[in-house]
Amino acid sequence: MARSSSGEGVLERVVRILEAFTPEDRALTVGEVSRRAGLPTATGSRLIADLEAHGLLTRDADRRVRVGTRLWELASRASPTLSLRELAMPVLEDLLRVVGHHAQLGVLDGDEVLFVERLSTERAVVNYTRIAARLPIHASSSGLVLLAFGAAERQERVLGGPLARFTEATVTDPRELRRRLADIRKQGFVLCPGFLHLEATGIAVPVRDESGSVAAAVSVIVPNDEDARTHVPTLTAAARQIERRLARSAGLDGRSSPIE
């Protein structure tokens, strides 16, 4: 593999170019991509042209660079979360109809929660989640569920901080966070009023795979009011339904029932 004068391989530079795009910044100029990737503009322009030739990047009418559909196609084909998302989708659609705001599915990736699906209504409460976007594990309801049922090593690493504060309600005290993780394991759900936005409450429950391990978190984002807790039974029922679908997909017995 060709390497730069700094000893860096082409693949490393290509990865940084692709990482320049975010859910918020989906179209960038060549200069912006190069700057975010830490590359000279001439080098960035050459690599972008190569990626464009293979359909991995594309340009819009303003000549700004975007991720190409070929990259999406390849990523979707190999995604380890694809079957989970497909199995959960009918349940998320039912959950959205009942709750009327946001229904989403998140998985653990490193020390963050990665959202593989989010369904919303037109007048839903504010929500920072985007598909293929990440949120801090300690401040999001899905993240806290995944952290609570995850490896002890990860818990200690996250508890060691720093724990970023997003609102006055965000838990940043390691002792308080440890207590909440214990409560999640005991109760089987988490309620996060105002953790990421003061107007919204995140509620999440674990989704276990056929081995009994927590594979994902299903969550809803609803207004931060006295009615938020009433959604817990509905969300729990949705998680159990996803688990039954996972079990059937794995060849185990299980029956599905509608969310009420």
DSSP structure class, residue 125: P
Q: Where are the domains of the chain?
A: 10-75, 80-249
Q: Which residues lie closer than 8 Å to 172 by C-beta, 6 or more apart?
A: 138, 161, 163, 164, 165
Which strand (E) or helix (H) includes residue 157?
helix 152-159
Residues of the chain with pLDDT under 70: 1-7, 76-81, 131-132, 252-260
Assess whether the region 10-75 and the region 80-249 belong to the same CATH fold.
no
Is there a contact between 44 and 34 (Cβ–Cβ < 8 Å)?
A: yes
Closest CA to 45 of 63, 21, 22, 19: 63
Cis status of the peptide bond prior to 233, with omega within 30 of 0: no
> CB-side exposure of 23: number of CA atoms within 13 Å?
11
Q: What is the pLDDT of residue 1?
A: 43
> CB-side exposure of 65: number of CA atoms within 13 Å?
26
Q: Which residues lie closer than 8 Å to 68 by C-beta, 6 or more apart?
A: 51, 52, 55, 56, 57, 58
Q: What are phi and psi of 156, to 5 degrees?
A: -65, -35
Tokens of 92: 């998320």
**CATH label, 10-75, candidates 3.30.70.600, 1.10.10.10, 1.10.3720.10, 3.40.50.300:** 1.10.10.10
Tokens of 115: 């959202």
Is there a contact between 24 and 31 (Cβ–Cβ < 8 Å)?
A: no
DSSP structure class, residue 101: S
Q: Determine the CATH number of domain 80-249.
A: 3.30.450.40
Q: What is the pLDDT of residue 254?
A: 46
Is there a contact between 93 and 247 (Cβ–Cβ < 8 Å)?
A: no
Closest CA to 202 of 135, 251, 133: 135
